[in-house]
Structure 1
Amino acid sequence: MMGVLVLAVVVLAPTIAQLAEQRQHIAELQASVSAQESEVQRLRDERERWNDETFITTQARERLTYVMPGEVSYLVIDDRSEAARADATTEVSADVTETKGDWMSTILSSVMTAGLAPAAGGAG
C-alpha cells in the first residue's frame, strides 16, 4: 500500500507542478488582457474627446497657442532670476498659524496714532 502511495506521488508531482505553472500563466495572461482592455477603453474615450469641437479648440489654444480671428495673443516671458523662480516653486505650508499679538490693540493704537498726529502740511 505504501509503495502505491509513493508511486502515485512520484507520478502526480510533475503533473501538479505543471497545473500550478499553467494556472499562474493563465492569471498573468488575464491580467495582461485586463490591462489591454482598460487601455483600449482609454483610447476610445480619447477618440471621443477628439470628436468634440470644443476639445479641439481648447487643444489648439493650449498646445499650439492658436487664437480665433480678431483675438490678440500675448506671450508672457518669465524674466525672473533662477533664484526667484526657485523661491516661487517652494511649497506653501497648509498649517494654520497664529498671529503674535492682539490685533484689536494693534488697530486701536493705529487709530489713536493717526488721530493724534499733527495735520500734514501745517498752517503756514
Structure 2
Amino acid sequence: MARQQRTQRVPVRLPEQSAQAGWLRSIRLSGFTIATLTVLVLTVVVLAPSLRIFVEQQQQIAQLRAEVEAQKSGVKDLRDERARWDDPSYIEAQARERLNYVYPGEYSYLVIDDGQTVSTGDGQPISDQVQTTQVDWVRMLLSSVLTAGLTDDKPGEIVAPVIQGPDEDGSDE
C-alpha cells in the first residue's frame, strides 16, 4: 500500500494592511482593460488639440455673426436715412435748419444775444473788456522754481510767495 502523505496547514499571519492598500491590491487588470485605457489616453491626446481649435472656431463664428447682425442694422439705418432724403420736405427742413436758407421774399432773423448773462464758474459775469494782469509772470515763475528747489519743507507745507506787481502807473515797489 502506498503511504499517503499528509500535509498540514499552518495559519500564517500577514502584516496588517490599510484599507487603501487592500483596495489597490484587489484591482486586477486584464489585457483588455489595459488596451482600453491605452486607446482612451491616445484618443484624448490626439483629439485635444482638434477640440481646442473647434471651440475657438465656434467662438469666432459667433463673433462674426454678431458683427454681421450689427452691420445689417447699420445698413437698415442707412436705407432709412436715404429714404428720408428722397422726401423733398425733409430736404427743405434740413436746408432751413442747417444752412439757414429761406425762400425769396422771406426774412430770416438770427438771435445773437438772447438776453442771458454768461458767467464764470464762480458766478462772476464775463467782461467784454480786455483786461491785463498786474502780475509779473517771469518773476513768479523764477520764484516758484527757486522755492521748490531750495526748500526742505514738504510739498504740503510750501506757501506760494506773494510778489507785488507793478502799480497802475507802471513802477515797481
TM-score by length of 2: 0.46
How far is 1:58 from its partner? 0.3
How far is 1:80 from its partner? 3.4
Q: After TM superposition, which residue ranges in structure 1, 4 or more long, deviate above 6 angstroms?
A: none
Task: Name the residue aligned to 1:20.
Answer: 55
Q: 2 CA distance for matches of 1:31 and 1:82?
A: 47
Q: Which runs of 5+ in 2 are unaligned?
A: 1-35, 124-173
More helix by share: 1
Task: Name the residue aligned to 2:129.
Answer: none
1 or 2 for the larger relative contact order (CA 8 Å, sep ≥6)? 2
2:116 to 67, 80, 85: 80
Q: 1 CA distance for matches of 2:77 and 2:96?
A: 23
How far is 1:34 from its partner? 0.8
Task: Name the residue aligned to 1:35.
Answer: 70
Give RMSD over aligned pairs. Answer: 1.7
The sequence identity of aligned pairs, in percent, is: 56
3-state SS, counterpart of residue 83 of structure 1: coil
| Alignment deviations for residues 36-74 of structure 1 (CA, whole Å, 9 cap, x no partner) | 111111111111100000000000000000012221100
Q: 2 CA distance for matches of 1:81 and 1:14?
A: 71
Q: 2 CA distance for matches of 1:12 and 1:81?
A: 75
1:65 aligns with 2:100: yes
How far is 1:82 from its partner? 2.2
Aligned length: 85
Q: 1 CA distance for matches of 2:49 and 2:91?
A: 59
Q: Which runs of 5+ in 1 are unaligned?
A: 88-124
Q: Which has the larger radius of gyration?
A: 2
Task: Name the residue aligned to 2:37.
Answer: 2
Q: 2 CA distance for matches of 1:75 and 1:35?
A: 41
